[in-house]
Amino acid sequence: MGARLAVRDVSLQFGGVKVLEDVSFTVEAGQIFGLVGPNGAGKTSLFNCVSGHYRPSSGSITIDDDEVLGSPPATLARHGLARTFQHPALQLHATVLENVLLGAHSRLPGGPVEWSLRLPRTGRSEKALRQEALELLDGHGLAWAARTRADELSHGLHKGVELCRALLMKPRLLLLDEPAAGLPHSEVEQLIETVRRVRDDDITVVIVEHNMGLISALTDRVVVLDHGRKLMEGSAVEAQADPRVIEAYLGKDAADDAA
């Protein structure tokens, strides 16, 4: 079953600069939830707080009622959290399959000593995970690239590889940071179908995205951020019609016209 995420009064400050201020929302298990807002709104910073890359100045973040604020990514992986990045973080000189297998580190039994000794249990697990990685690549139309170096693929294919790596972690909560950025329209349509399949596999999904067509097609609810603060919460349709959101994106004159 998908995980439930609750963000409560999260603030983030670097020196004297407030990046996030008292942001709160809840993502119910099994939802596809959107985080939207203009550039500089704090969306990726909030993702970094949830995924353990930033430690908030204050607040609470829980996954299924377990407090995880300030936990490192490795601990969050054990809570079922995986994420992708706005700019895919791949090992460019490694093969696609090797990159996907990096998502399996939290699922290998034992620890570094057992792995270095190459005990039979480790070998069996690695073989099973390799097969699972190949099946994921096949399911996302990337089986042909399994033994191709990542630096030989396009930006759009990098995003597909990174998604396969995240899914190999067997997450219950998946954070997608601008998954449609740089994709042509045909690949955005494929992405929408992919995210729907992910949700059907009982994974809760939270998306940061500028493509409002994708947000409208996918999300159950959205939160709009502006200058680090929560501007509104509701459906994508409600967000697109809200004068405050229009002003944040397009300016006050556009908001007055819409009103």
Q: What is the pLDDT of residues 83-118, one digit of tens each?
A: 998 888 899 999 999 999 988 877 665 555 454 556
This prediction's pTM = 0.88
Give residue for tokens 């030989």.
Answer: 152
Neighbour tally for 83: CB within 10 Å? 25
What's the gap between Cα 32 and its chain centre? 11
d(CA 233, CA 11): 18
d(CA 79, CA 62): 10
Give the closest residue to 91 by CA, choosing from 136, 153, 140.
153
Helices (H), 109-242: 112-117, 120-139, 155-168, 185-200, 212-218, 236-241
Domain definitions of the chain by residue range: 1-80+171-259, 90-169
pLDDT tens sequence for the chain (259 residues): 889 999 999 999 998 899 999 999 999 999 999 999 988 899 999 999 999 999 999 999 999 999 999 899 889 998 999 999 888 889 999 999 999 998 887 766 555 545 455 655 666 777 888 899 999 999 999 999 999 999 999 888 999 999 999 999 999 999 999 998 888 888 888 889 999 999 999 999 999 988 888 899 999 999 999 999 999 999 999 999 999 888 887 665 444 555 5
Burial class (CB in 10 A: 0-12, 13-18, 19+), 34: buried
Amino acid code (one letter) for 48: N
- Top-tier CATH class for 1-80+171-259: alpha beta
